[in-house]
Structure 1
């Protein structure tokens, strides 16, 4: 499930350009807190800046 959510976040940002964490959350149906955790993980991996 976590890998799926990471993929959803990454795909959403790639597809919609710069988007806020709240925007990502509303598009994929996760909480802002969950998206923040996932974005932080993707940033640490160098996939988001």
Structure 2
């Protein structure tokens, strides 16, 4: 959780909960789950691993 706070939401003031949820969802689904390298995939992104 501290990684997300430091890299995604640090210094941002969201006007609504929906806006915060959208930003966090995009970060988790697009960056963390698709682009970030995973050790279980020999340090390849899931997209490259496929």
Name which structure has the greater RCO, CA cutoff 8 Å, separation 6+: 1
Which structure shows the bigger proportion of residues in helix conformation? 1
Establish whether TM, by shorter chain, passes 0.5: no
The TM-score, its normalising length taken from structure 2, stands at: 0.38
